[in-house]
Chain A
Amino acid sequence: MKAILSILWKEFVQLRRDPKLLPVIFISPILQLLLLGYAANLDVKNIPSVICDMDRSAASREFLDDFVNSGYFSVEARVERMDEVDRYLDHGDAAMAFVIPRGFGDKIAARQEASVMIIADGSESQSATIGVNYATMIAAKYAQKIIFEAFERAKGLGLKPVLVNTEVRVWYNPELKSRNFMVPGVLGLILMIMTTSLASLGIVRERETGTMEQLIVTPIRPYQLIVGKLLPFVLIGLVDATFVITVARGWFGIPVRGSVALLFALCLAFMLNTLGTGLFISTISRTQQQAMLTSLFFILPQLLLSGFVFPIENMPKVFQLLTTIIPIRYFFVIIRGIMLKGAGWAELWPQAAALLVLGTIILALSVARFHKKLD
């Protein structure tokens, strides 16, 4: 125990060598949270749009008013010719265009099929898809209105339009705020980035500068060395977790509906994985530069395949299978479960078990490699 404590002390002394380390460790999570909390906003509103009304009839104006008043689109310009639409989209000054061809009003009046054109800038990530969805929905509503008017006229026949009413209920996040999803995610990301990279570089530095040899010739046992070296990072992780949860709750008002104790306990289970990965990277790297690039090789795929932004159920089967060995995937379910859904052990034990199993495997593997390196 004393040996572990002395290693621990040495690590803390070393962590203070670069005076910028502590601010980075403790302030950056908060900065990242604030940025994400305010920037992560997919509520697509006020999509800049151009209107090209070649018909200029009462009907076309009425139709376009539905779009303008919906709040989803903001009209940047009204143009007369198609080639003017081109310019707005090419320059990125507008992301959508609504084109009403000549004869629209006449066709509606004659109860023939009229047509309109909706153009979306497909180079601009999701807002195009979402914008198109809104636009077709508004157009469909307009169509429905016309059908219902036909019904009104046929009232003499005793007809009534039938509508399937939908009562939509959104659970866990009734206002559908992106923030409520992204901000808890930062907890997972920060823990992963901080602990994996700090651990891998910290151990490799020891080897790079040759002090590892000095440690080996002391009577310290390898397991004491590992525990002493990794423990500071566990503490850093816990402090960061506290910061993130406090800011998420206090500043952004994101609820923690489940048990905070369980959340912290599972943070520890998650850190088994991240520190295990860090230790593993350190056993396969000679220099800190190598350790850094190898860390990226582990961190980036985990980030993108975690379901943080890109839903896992849309990935090809092979990749879905691959995500089953990605610890942060389970951790995200846990964070969301505890914070937003008020889930407890009964719901989350499979994820917790996955974290423990994966963590034990990677940690055992890297401890074994670490031993071999020492011998």
Chain B
Amino acid sequence: MKTPLFAFVGPVMLKEFRQIRRDSRSLVFMIFLPAFLLLMFGFALNFDVKHIPLAVVDQDGSRISRELAKKFGTTEYFDVKAELDRSGDIDGLMAREKIKAALVIPETFSEDLLAGRSPSVQFLIDGANAMSGTTAAGYAAAILQSYSQKVTLEAMERRGLGGLTLPLETEVRVWYNPELKSARFLLPGLMAFILMVILTTSTAFSIVREKERGTMEQINVSALRPAALIIGKMIPYVLISLAAAHLVLGLGWVLFGVAVKGSYILLLLTMILFLISGLGQGILISAITRTQQVAFLISVLTTILPTFILSGFVFPVRNMPAVIQAVTYLVPAKYFLVALRAIILKGVGLGAFWEQILFLAGFAVLTLALSVVMLRSGGEGGRRRARRAR
């Protein structure tokens, strides 16, 4: 005789609530840790590559070469940290990461320039970090290009060819985030990242804890069905994390001026689906492990780096090889991130991101269904063991 599917959801929920309340530090962490992390990183982090520490080796030492070196120092992209006499000194500074780039102006620079010969300079970059290396090279090229243009135009003016304007004006517009503020880029990504880690870890213990303490056996021999157990255990966490997510959103709005441009209802729907996905992943991990140690390791390893790397938060998904792109479909933060950017920054409607919502819903259902299956098979085994013990 089977009990109705959803019988006992209420009591399981109450028990879980009571258990959470007993451990007040964990509750405080679950609600406030995301907001705290967002607060910290919203201020601390940005993707801009600026203030690259630069060494200048001016072997020419003329007024013109000093002017060129100054051009680098006055931009916000480079900070001149050292002025060296010999280019041999660059090595040590770069290995110790005191500088990340060096400009070497050769002895004959001003002479060549005044004689109308094209002089050369050397620009050395620490390429270990490819991202800042590429950007530094770009900045340097742009500075030197505009310097060449200036020199050329000056030469023309001296020959009475003045009044020549620059032939082209490029107007750059950045949509959705006009000042290219890092906080605006970062916020949706950080939200998805922080929430995902906290969500998965907060339910990762929910079932395995019972196994480790031996209370799972009691649940197995009771009439409680696995689906009811999972739903009952999950509801308190959905509510707690919904509060945490709103705290994060509110903070983003008040402190970083990232207001929700689109529909709040849509946002709420997406958020709930994402929360269930993250919590579902935690429950699935809990269902397949036997100790809390392993559950924690798996949940950290499947959330921290994958969310960071495969969600499109830091690295564009379209640059990845096809196999890795396929793996990104298993990362719920990816869908959430696309939807979040669309709703919060672009303010567009469902038409632009409905696929993401479908995928999120699919992921949520899949993890929960798998957990039920795992629990049922594990539970049967448990029941058998319990019977044998009798």
Kindly state whether residue A169 has any CB partner on chain B within 8 Å.
Answer: yes
A164 to B345, CA, bound (A): 41
A113 near B319 (CB under 8 angstroms)? no
B175, A41: Cβ atoms closer than 8 Å? no
Contact segment of A114-122, A222-230, A242-250, A356-364: A114-122
Contact B44 A162 (CB under 8 A): no
For A196, give the chain B residue with the smallest CB separation. Answer: B300
- Interchain CB contact under 8 A, B348 and A90: yes
B113 → chain A closest CB, angstroms: 6
* Residue of A32, A128, A295 touching B301 (CB-CB under 8 A): A32
Residues of A contacting B: mostly = helix
Q: How far is the CB of A256 from chain B (nearest CB, A)?
A: 14
The interface residues of chain B lying within 8 Å CB-to-CB of A90 are 346, 348, 352
Q: State whether the Cβ of B207 lies closer than 8 Å to any Cβ in chain A.
A: no
Residue among A18, A89, A112, A143 having the largest count of chain B Cβ atoms under 10 Å: A18
Among A50-58, A269-277, A303-311, A366-374, the stretch in contact with B: A303-311
B residues 250-272 with Cβ under 8 Å of A? Answer: none
**B33 & A167 in contact (Cβ 8 Å cutoff):** no
Is A132's CB under 8 angstroms from B172's CB?
yes
CB distance from A28 to the nearest CB of B (A): 5
User: Interface residues of B: mostly helix, strand, loop or mixed?
Assistant: helix
Q: Does A174 contact B (CB under 8 A)?
A: yes
Give, as a whole number of angstroms, the nearest-CB distance from A226 to chain B. Answer: 18
Q: A36: CB under 8 A from chain B? A: yes
Proximity string of chain A (294-332) to chain B, C-beta cutoff 8 Å, 1 when within and 0 when not: 111101110111000111011110010000000000000
Given A137-B141, A171-B125, A189-B305, A316 and B313 touching (CB < 8 A)? no
Cβ B169 vs Cβ A115 within 8 A = yes
Q: Is B222 interfacial (CB-CB < 8 Å)?
A: no
Chain A residues bordering chain B, tally (CB within 8 A): 129
Residue picked from A90, A198, A205, most chain B C-beta under 10 Å = A90
Inter-chain contact B301/A193, CB cutoff 8 Å: yes
- B389: interface (CB < 8 Å): no
A-B contact count (CB 8 A): 410
Which residues on A sit within 8 Å (CB–CB) of B134? Answer: 42-43, 130, 176
Q: With A125-B316, A163-B148, A319-B43 as given contacts, are A139 and B324 in contact (CB-CB < 8 Å)?
A: no
Known interface pairs A154-B161, A162-B113. Does A129 touch B47 (Cβ–Cβ under 8 Å)? yes
Closest beta carbon of chain B to A165's beta carbon, Å: 4
**Measured between alpha carbons, how far is A186 from B170 in the docked complex, in Å?**
41
Task: List which A182-209 residues lie within 8 A (CB) of chain B.
Answer: 186, 189, 193-194, 197-198, 201-202, 205
A296 to B198, Cβ gap below 8 A?
yes
B112-161 residues at the A interface, CB under 8 angstroms: 113, 116-135, 137-138, 140-142, 144-149, 151-153, 155-156, 159, 161
Task: Tell which of A178, A286, A343 has the most Cβ of chain B within 10 Å.
Answer: A178
The 5 A-B pairs with the shortest beta carbon distances in the complex, nearest first, are A122-B177, A173-B127, A170-B127, A122-B174, A18-B291
Can you sample 16 A-B contacts with CB below 8 Å? A20-B298, A25-B297, A39-B328, A45-B319, A90-B346, A115-B170, A144-B148, A147-B167, A154-B156, A168-B125, A176-B133, A189-B305, A198-B297, A288-B209, A288-B296, A319-B43
Q: A310-B46, A333-B96 are in contact. List 11 more A-B contacts (CB 8 A).
A: A24-B294, A46-B318, A116-B169, A116-B171, A123-B346, A135-B172, A151-B156, A170-B125, A201-B296, A288-B209, A315-B46
